[in-house]
């Protein structure tokens, strides 16, 4: 498993000119390796604390010294891992932005994606549109919490709710808990190790909402994923079984017993799964107002339904 070196406790300084030269070389190698050059600047923001404008205008070049989290040769080694091992830059620096949060990530968790941010907006608008009272309060679940991103988003959006975050992976839960502590949400989110809803048996019939971004990649397609994903993100976060729908089918089948009447069920899915997911929700017979919703690019990526009253 890839690990990022611990930041040095020594003060490590380089001249702006030297760092500029390092950046030029890294940008050249990024182009050659077909990696977005913007990732070099992201790395420099994190390890050298240089703001995006100074990077864009290259004004940092005039500074006599810039403090780094790692010595320059270690930075070079890190960048080599990005180039040669295709290690995602988020794992290199150990953090990723998501909504307004800066989340700790490691190869134990999926790197939360920008499109997943929309699940929180869907949850907020679903509670606003519902006739069921106080859907934005009470108990909410984030199933397959990974880094804790969705649980944190829900905790921030629904100030009176308690969030129950479940993951099968102990290592993922450790990261999620750390994120909750660092962002000041530890009293609002409870964490459970186990499979989907099974650790929440005591909450049957009480959940105001269930939100999940489950694994949904068909098994045969895993090998065709980009190396950054295939070789570094956890298989347990990706593998959705033969047709990609194993976890979604399970969540459709089990969620009605856990939702309160009128409670909302929201998931992310893969492009092309919308028709089948809508059909499964209809067949289950206990959902209403079933909707398949697009992402910002207009591609169907989300499903939303309410438990019948
Ligand atoms: C696609 S990732 C989503 C992570 C995070 N919610 C996000 O959106 O970035 C799916 C998550 O489901 C978890 N998972 C897989 N199988 C599970 C199961 N049977 N029960 C609970 N969690 C599971 C994985 O460990 C992984 O963290």
Residue with tokens 């106080």: 134
**What confidence score (pLDDT) does residue 100 get?**
95
Q: For ligand 1, atom 18, name the residue with the nearest CA.
A: 195
Return the CA Rg of the chain: 21
Distance CA 139, CA 160 (A): 9
pLDDT at position 109 over 90: yes
- The band of 9, judged by pLDDT with boundaries at 50, 70 and 90, is low
Alpha helices, H only, 183-235: 227-230
pLDDT band at 147, cuts 50/70/90?
very high
- Looking at the fold, whether 116 and 196 belong to one and the same domain comes out as yes
pLDDT in tens, 244-287: 999 999 999 999 999 999 999 999 999 999 999 999 999 999 99
Ligand 1 geometric centre to CA of 212 (Å): 8
* Residue 98 domain-assigned (yes or no): no
Ligand 1 mean position to 126 CA, how many Å? 23
How far, CA to CA in Å, does 133 sit from each of 136, 158, 163? 8, 14, 18
Residue-wise pLDDT tens digits, 159-201? 999 999 999 999 999 999 999 999 999 999 999 999 999 999 9
Ligand 1 centroid to residue 152 C-alpha, Å: 15
Binding-site residues for substrate sit at 213-216
Q: 114 with 70, same domain?
A: no
Quick one: which atom of ligand 1 is closest to the CA of 216?
1
Ligand 1 near 199 CB (within 6 A): no
Residue 132 is predicted with a pLDDT of 83
**Known binding site for S-adenosyl-L-methionine: residues?**
144-148, 167, 196, 213
148 lines ligand 1 (CB under 6 A): no
Q: Which has the closest alpha carbon to 305: 138, 274, 158, 297?
A: 274
- For ligand 1, the distance from its centroid to the CA atom of residue 213, given in whole angstroms, is 7
Mark whether 126 and 213 lie in a shared domain. yes
Q: Which atom of ligand 1 is nearest to the CA of 212?
A: 6
Share of the chain above pLDDT 70, in %: 96
pLDDT above 80 (res 1): no
From 10-19, 96-105, 140-149, 257-266, the region with the lowest mean pLDDT: 10-19
**Tokens coding 50:** 């240089």
Measured between alpha carbons, how far is 267 from 269 in angstroms, rounded to an integer?
6
Assess whether 160 and 51 both reside in one domain.
no
At a CB cut-off of 8 Å and minimum separation 6, what does 155 contact? 161, 163, 180, 185, 188, 189
Ligand 1 pocket: which of 95, 114, 147, 168 to mutate (most atoms within 8 A of CB): 168
Residue 1 falls within a domain, yes or no? Answer: no
Q: Mean pLDDT for the chain?
A: 95
φ/ψ bin of 135: left (φ > 0), alpha (ψ from -120 to 50), beta (otherwise): alpha
What is the three-class DSSP state of 302? strand
User: What atom in ligand 1 is closest to the CA of residue 142?
Assistant: 6
| pLDDT on residue 8 | 55
Whose CA is closest to 60, among 74, 72, 45? Answer: 45
Q: Is 139 exposed, middle or buried (0-12, 13-18, 19+ CB in 10 A)?
A: buried
pLDDT of residue 190: 98
The answer, yes or no, to whether residue 71 has pLDDT greater than 50, is yes
Residue 155 belongs to domain spanning: 107-307
Asked whether residue 29 falls in the same domain as residue 151, the answer is no
In this prediction, residue 5 carries a pLDDT of 63
Does residue 100 fall inside a structural domain? Answer: no
Nearest partner of 204 among 163, 260, 252, judged by Cα: 260
Number of folded domains that form the chain: 2
pLDDT higher than threshold 80 for residue 6: no
């Amino acid at each position: 498993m890839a690990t990022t070196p611990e930041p040095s406790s020594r003060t490590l300084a380089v001249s702006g000119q030297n760092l500029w030269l390092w950046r030029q070389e890294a940008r050249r190698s990024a182009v050659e390796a077909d990696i977005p050059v913007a990732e070099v600047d992201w790395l420099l923001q994190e390890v050298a604390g240089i703001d995006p404008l100074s990077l864009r205008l290259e004004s940092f070049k005039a500074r006599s010294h810039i403090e780094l989290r790692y010595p320059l040769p270690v930075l070079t080694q890190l960048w080599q891992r990005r180039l040669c091992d295709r290690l995602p830059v988020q794992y290199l620096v150990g953090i990723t932005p998501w909504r307004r949060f800066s989340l700790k990530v490691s190869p134990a968790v999926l790197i939360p994606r920008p499109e997943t941010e929309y699940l929180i907006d869907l949850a907020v608008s679903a509670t606003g549109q519902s006739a069921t009272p106080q859907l934005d309060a009470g108990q909410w679940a984030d199933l397959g919490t990974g880094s804790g991103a969705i649980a944190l988003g829900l905790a921030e959006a629904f100030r009176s709710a308690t969030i129950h975050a479940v993951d099968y992976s102990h290592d993922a839960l450790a990261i999620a808990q750390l994120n909750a502590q660092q962002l000041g949400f530890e009293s609002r989110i409870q964490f459970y190790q186990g499979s989907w809803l099974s650790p929440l048996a005591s909450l049957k019939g009480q959940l105001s909402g269930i939100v999940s971004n489950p694994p949904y990649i068909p098994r045969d397609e895993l090998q065709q994923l980009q190396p950054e994903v295939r070789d570094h993100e956890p298989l347990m976060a990706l593998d959705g079984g033969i047709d990609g729908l194993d976890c979604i089918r399970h969540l459709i089948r089990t969620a009605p017993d856990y939702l309160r009447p009128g409670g909302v069920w929201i998931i992310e899915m893969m492009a092309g799964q919308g028709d089948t997911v809508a059909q499964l929700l209809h067949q289950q017979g206990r959902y209403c107002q079933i909707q398949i919703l697009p992402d910002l690019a207009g591609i169907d990526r989300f499903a939303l339904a309410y438990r019948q009253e």
